[in-house]
Structure 1
Amino acid sequence: MSASLRNFLITRILLTIPMVLILITMVFIIMRVLPGDPIRSQLGPKISEAQANELRERLGLNRPLYQQYFDFLWKMIRLDFGTALTQGERPIKDELGERLPATLELTIPSMLFTATFGILLGAFAAKNRKKPIDFAIRLFSIVIYSIPIFFMGLIFQIIFSVRLPILPLAGRMNTLLLTSFKPITNFYVIDSILTGNWPALGSALAHLVMPSVTLGLALTGVYIRLTRINMIEMLQSDFITAGRARGLPEPRLVYRHALRNTFIPIMTLIGLEFAILLAGAVLTETTFSWPGMGRYLVERIQLRDYTAVQATIGVFALFVGLITLVMDVLYAFIDPRIRY
């Protein structure tokens, strides 16, 4: 590893730490200035003041804010999220261990779908610039980006689950299969393959289609427009002109040479869109009753559950920071100029 690459990686890692710290600090502050009492949301409004004070003392909510904050940071560093205020003694780590794989199982196919579909359509539109198909693709990108995720999900449910009952309406797996299904990693697709449970695999894939396509389509328009703009500029460059003069086939020039040189801005978008997909997963999981972190976060926010909300957003922040770091490392390998 060269010195420039090593210094670049160290710098990016050091910049990721304050980004995550600022985010979880903001969450800590916001959750404590919002109206409402998490203790009474757990035990009900009719509990006595003595019972409420006893629970506050047990959970450390009666201590000064700075002590609560540093205790929270120390637990986050050790990945010890404690127990949720509204779910008894079950550790939050166990809750997130079940729900994080569900969110990733939804987000990763969505990312692959939106990137592949959007990039190919954008390249095709640039190749056919100012033709009717180009205008049609651009119009599609605007319309698909303008539709709210939850509305698109409801439309798909009406079409493919009610009118044409070919896909399941909600959930991760058929209830009858779920009773005998024993997850290993909580990634249902992977666990079905590992256990050789092919009916469960078919059900998991069928349940994954609508939510992943809904989440992926919501951001496809961004990839189409970004790829098209960069591809038009690239197709007018000197090396493409030289390739045409040598008689290279146009598809090879477009999809192999020009498209390859547009990957840096596209990779930048992939890193940013991962965070947006995680945010979009909140709406998608709620619409499709998908038991992931997004739905869990909405439920905990409604109950003013400090510990669960802080832990969930902290995990989100760690993943976004990790993805951003990976994208930066890939930039450095693709384009060495970025290291300096």
Structure 2
Amino acid sequence: MAGETTATGRAAAAWQPRGAEIAYEVFRFLGILILTLIGLIFITFLIGRVVPIDPVLAVLGDRAPPEAYERVRQELGVDLPVYQQFWIYLMKVIRGDFGTSAMTSQPVLYDLGQFFPATLELATAATLIGVVIGIPLGVVAATNQGRWIDHVTRVIGLVGYSIPIFWMGLVGLLVLYSWLDLVAGPGRLDIAYDGLVEPITGLITVDSAISGDWDVFFNALSHLILPASLLGYLTLAYVSRMTRSFMLAQLNQEYILTARAKGMTERRVVWRHALGNIVVPLIAVVALSYASLLEGAVLTETVFAWPGLGLYITRSLFNADMNAVLGGTMLIGAIFVCLNVFCDMLYRLLDPRARA
């Protein structure tokens, strides 16, 4: 009984430093995240002041009378010193107030909530396509270095990097939609299906599946498959190339030679040990690819009239709607920051060397 009590006391004593270490790491990550976001807000604020667009004229137009111009200038706080403007802007952003869009006459936060789910749906589908195909393709290419499958994989990656995405989108619409009628055209849904499914998550494929409206689901899927496949091809090219590079480095390590010398099967050596050791860097590759797609694939969304974040920011910029542009920029930056911090945390969870 005394031995059990002693063991329990030792475990509790050992847990206290570990608990303090975990608490320190959590507070450190939160501190880094908060400081980075504040820096992002500051840079976004400076962008809004450097761009040669008068926010008052963007609201009133070029023919506004002087008294109205001065009144709106005071309401927007443009007449205040820059440091006061930044403080007001920071307090508004913390409250979730990005101002009102001059293009839609809606709060920018509301517009982002309407447009971002379309980009989220497109980016998620494209990332799944790129990861599911790209990682196995990179592994197979690495294990067959110098053979035909390796050359084919490298050509696939080279083509994916070389051909402009808007050109592939136009050719895809011409061939698969106009000529062969295999997929639906631009937009997220046909007009006949618009508004039939109550939005729950904002993802039409998910919402239609939840409600059991399979006609809307397959129509949305038909619209999604072509732009998602094109963006997925870009992700596939990057992921397969990086996977091949990581795997080649691992396959030349001594522990791989030792495993083979012990008679371990090649499948186990490659897919369990070598691939298991590149999971951590692959997480960063996939996360950054996903973040790049989430920022709004502007050209793809423009070609396919996809009502996502990239198209929203582009149209806002053309209409001198700086509130919308800065709000979208803030959202994109926050996504990158959060994904980077998330990857850093996964590093420490999955790789003991990072914790050390």
Give the alignment's TM-score, normalised by structure 1.
0.92
Pick the aligned partner of 2:72 from 51, 55, 58.
55
Q: CA RMSD in A?
A: 2.0
d(CA) in 2 for partners of 1:147, 1:6: 48
Match in the other structure for 1:173: 189
Q: Is 1:16 the counterpart of 2:33 in the alignment?
A: yes
Whether the aligned pair in 1 keeps the contact of 2:193 and 2:216 (CA below 8 Å) is yes
Which has the higher Rg, Structure 1 or Structure 2?
2
d(CA) in 1 for partners of 2:284, 2:339: 11
d(CA) in 2 for partners of 1:49, 1:27: 29
Whether the aligned pair in 2 keeps the contact of 1:4 and 1:339 (CA below 8 Å) is no
Superposed, 1:136-151 pairs within 5 Å as: 136-151=152-167
Match in the other structure for 2:256: 240
Q: Report which structure shows greater RCO (CA 8 Å, sep ≥6).
A: 1
Pick the aligned partner of 1:326 from 342, 345, 348.
342
- The letter for the 1-side match of 2:198 is K
Spell out, residue by residue over 1:274-313, the C-alpha distance to the aligned partner (whole angstroms, 9 max, x if none). 3322345222212211111111111112222222222211
Match in the other structure for 1:35: 52
Bigger mean CA offset, 31-40 vs 202-211: 31-40
Shift of 1:329: 1.4
- The letter for the 2-side match of 1:142 is L
Q: Secondary structure at the match of 1:102?
A: helix
Match in the other structure for 2:117: 101
d(CA) in 1 for partners of 2:252, 2:53: 59
Q: Secondary structure at the match of 2:200?
A: coil
Give the alignment's TM-score, normalised by structure 2.
0.88
Displacement over 4 Å in runs of 4+ = none
Identity of aligned residues (%): 35
Spell out, residue by residue over 1:146-191, the C-alpha distance to the aligned partner (whole angstroms, 9 max, x if none). 2222222222212211222111121111111114332222121121
Match in the other structure for 1:195: 211
Shift of 1:5: 4.1
- The letter for the 2-side match of 1:247 is G
Bigger mean CA offset, 111-120 vs 5-14: 5-14
Match in the other structure for 1:114: 130
Superposed, 1:1-340 pairs within 5 Å as: 2-88=19-105, 90-279=106-295, 281-340=297-356
d(CA) in 2 for partners of 1:154, 1:108: 22
Shift of 1:124: 0.7
Spell out, residue by residue over 1:221-247, the C-alpha distance to the aligned partner (whole angstroms, 9 max, x if none). 222221112111212223322332343
- The letter for the 1-side match of 2:85 is Q
Match in the other structure for 2:4: none
Where structure 2 has 5 or more consecutive residues not aligned to the other structure, the ranges are 1-17
- The letter for the 2-side match of 1:54 is R
Shift of 1:205: 1.4
d(CA) in 2 for partners of 1:306, 1:67: 19
d(CA) in 2 for partners of 1:188, 1:144: 28
Shift of 1:334: 0.7
d(CA) in 1 for partners of 2:83, 2:121: 37
d(CA) in 2 for partners of 1:114, 1:61: 46
Where structure 1 has 5 or more consecutive residues not aligned to the other structure, the ranges are none
Spell out, residue by residue over 1:190-216, the C-alpha distance to the aligned partner (whole angstroms, 9 max, x if none). 211222211111111111111212222
Whether the aligned pair in 2 keeps the contact of 1:5 and 1:332 (CA below 8 Å) is no
- The letter for the 1-side match of 2:74 is E
Whether the aligned pair in 1 keeps the contact of 2:115 and 2:308 (CA below 8 Å) is yes
